[in-house]
Amino acid sequence: MTDRPAIRRRDFLATAGAALASLGCGGRVGLPGLSRWGLVLRNGTIIDGSGGAPFEGDVAIVDGRIAAIGRSLSGRGAEEIDVRGLAVAPGFIDIHSHADGTLFDDPRAESVIRQGVTTVIVGQDGGSRGPSREDPSARTQIRRSLRAQGPFQSLGDFLAAVDALPPAVNVASMVGLGTVRGIVIGNDDRPATPAEVTRMQSLVSAAIAHGACGASSGLEYIPGAFASQEELIALCEPLAAAKLPYATHMRNEDDRLLDSLDESIAVARLAGCPLQVSHLKTQGPRNWPKIDAALDRLEKARASGLDVAFDRYPYVAYQTGLTNLFPAWSRDGGTERFLARLRDSATAARIRDEALAKVELIGGWDNVQITSVSNETDRAAEGQRLGAWAKASGADPYEAAVGLLERSGGSVGMVGFAMSEDNIARFLAHPLGMVCSDGGAFATEGPARRGHPHPRSLGSFPRVLGHYVRDRRALPLEDAVRKMSAFPASRVRLTDRGMLRQGLAADVVVFDPATVTDRATFAEPFSYAEGIRVVIVNGVPALRDGERAERRAGRALRPVEQGR
């Protein structure tokens, strides 16, 4: 086997993967006799996560760790995979994920693994699976049943359940400040008392002690929307000593975007903690020009000493609950009160006016796609644009939306088409930006095939590599890999992964830069990405040439993780 010259950065995209037009990457052989290495990836183009130029070499793995990296490593591997012409990178880290939604029903995490993602950061948008107000004595049955979804008495209980499962991917979790507020105050729109703030602070501190990798807020959701800036500052103060981030789904992402950014910066600055702006966007065509002002605010905050960054998924539509089209005040007290207000003569007209204004902002009812319902009789609405669906039945779109909510007890999912493709490219390329999916874990079959999900759950990371790196040339490949690995690892202090370095955890993805692409669409979401050839989690292959391994090697991760 002769050495090939190192691929220069400017030539990489044009040449990587070309050599496999007729070869594939499936060549692997078990070698007889004593082996120096466990698994060796041979002849790959290594993109190590640092942002530096790719180089040719081998990666050797022993006991779940990267044992060596270099050109033509001597010694045999018990197993070797020829990855000539393919990119070898750190396993991708999804800094904003909701994969825990199906994790205990289907721990294979198919759509996650098949994107090259090896670690998910859950507990986002103010909601986490622990803590809860449940009696600890009730946890016995939960611990016996690994299919339980929680909530768990503590975040530590959730992480222990992940370890006991185990899933195919690594899982770290933030503590949700909305979850904490719900425990102490409930869903009421009122200020927290000093005693309640103290109790909520203690819950946040306990979650950090149990392994939380930050705290999240969802300020467009209930009950997070009712938290004041002062309350948020107080709850984020425990993050400062641990140097963990406050990740916020801001109070507004459209007309009041800039004010919301100012609030987020103020919370982190006054609490003394890093800031992670979740899925930064300029929502609604009239707000697309605000991208310059938004980025300027973040850059100035960074220049003034605030540790700030943001994440972004690579699609023009967002996903949320249909209730998010309705004003926060109308959801005060929870779902039952919200549904009652929709028909109450004292509030119905005002709610309708504010909801219609929100729909107008994103371009009309046909920019609202229904993704999930709880009521079986409305199952045909999944995947439909609400405007067209209502018209086909002769219904007013607003009344059709209200009817869906009433019949499903408020549990209706939606996708809203409201963002600019050009702005997405700018967000992804920005030095403070990193890649996320903001999606769940789905599968084309089995218990994780649910509803009509946003395609980001099945295609985000390959879409960045294919559409934005290869096709649009919005950012270099090595920078995109850094935004998917080392950068997010550093945000949540997972110090033993995120790069290809000797001694670090062996989370690795092998992909073909010439063919990697997303296949899921808004019309047909249940299609896996292509071009992801090999995925290794903690040294164990999880995916090879489209074939999933039976063994699941994921585990719960905690900040400043040093391995075991």
DSSP code per residue over 416-469: EE---HHHHHHHHHSTTEEE--------SSSTT--S---THHHHHHHHIIIIII
Burial 375-392 (b: 16+ CB within 10 A, else e): beebeebbbbbbbebbee
* Mean pLDDT computed over 331-335: 96
| Per-residue model confidence (pLDDT) at position 561 | 56
Q: Are residues 293 and 400 in the same domain?
A: no
62-83: average pLDDT: 96
pLDDT digits (tens, 9 = 90+) for 247-269: 999 999 999 999 999 999 999 99
Asked which of 362, 383, 416 is the last residue of a domain, the reply is: 416
Query: Is the pLDDT at 543 greater than 80, yes or no?
Result: yes
Same domain, 201 and 256: yes
Q: Structural domain tally of the chain? A: 2
Between 190 and 139, the more confident residue is 190
If DSSP codes are grouped into helix, strand and coil, which group holds residue 185?
Answer: coil
Does any domain span residue 293?
Answer: yes
Q: Are 218 and 330 in the same domain?
A: no
Q: Of 416, 431, 451, which closes a domain?
A: 416
Residue 230 and residue 329 in one domain: no
Q: Specify the CATH number for the domain of residue 232.
A: 3.20.20.140
DSSP run (H or E) holding 389: helix 386-392
Contact 69, 502 (CB under 8 A): yes
501 in any annotated domain = no
CB atoms within 10 A of CB 33: 6
CB atoms under 10 Å from CB of 514, counted, come to 21
150-181 tens-digit pLDDT: 789 999 999 999 999 999 999 999 999 999 99
Residues 306 and 329 reside in one and the same domain: no
Using CB atoms within 10 A of its CB, is residue 63 exposed (0-12), middle (13-18) or buried (19+)? exposed
Note the pTM of the prediction, 2 decimals. Answer: 0.91
Query: Does position 219 have pLDDT exceeding 60, yes or no?
Result: yes
Domain region containing 365: 325-416
The answer to whether position 345 is within a domain reads: yes
Which of 266, 288, 312 is the last residue in one of the domains? 312
Query: Tokens 């995109």, residue?
Result: 480
For residues 468 and 483, what is the distance between their CA atoms, to the nearest angstrom?
13
Say if 186 falls within a structural domain. Answer: yes
Are 285 and 370 contained in the same domain? no
Assigned domain for 515 exists:
no
Judgement on whether residues 308 and 332 belong to the same structural domain of the protein: no
Give the model's pLDDT for residue 149: 66
CA distance 437 to 80: 32
- Same-domain status, 262 and 187: yes
Distance (Å, whole) CA 265 – CA 387: 37
Q: Is the distance from CB of 31 to CB of 37 less than 8 angstroms?
A: no
Mean pLDDT of the chain: 92
CA separation for the pair 504, 71 (Å, rounded): 19
Question: Can you give the pLDDT at residue 66?
Answer: 98
Q: Are residues 284 and 337 in the same domain?
A: no
Query: Alpha-carbon distance 269 to 252, whole Å?
Result: 19
Report yes or no on 38 lying in a domain: no
Are 347 and 269 contained in the same domain? Answer: no
The partner residues of 548 in beta bridges, in order of sequence, read: 543
* Residue 95 host element (H or E): none
The answer to whether residue 64 is domain-embedded is no
Burial state string for 523-542 with b = 16 or more CB within 10 A and e = fewer than 16: eebbebbbbbbbbbbbbbbb
Residue 184 lies inside a defined structural domain of this protein: yes
CA distances to 287, 370, 385 from 367, rounded to whole Å, are 16, 10, 7
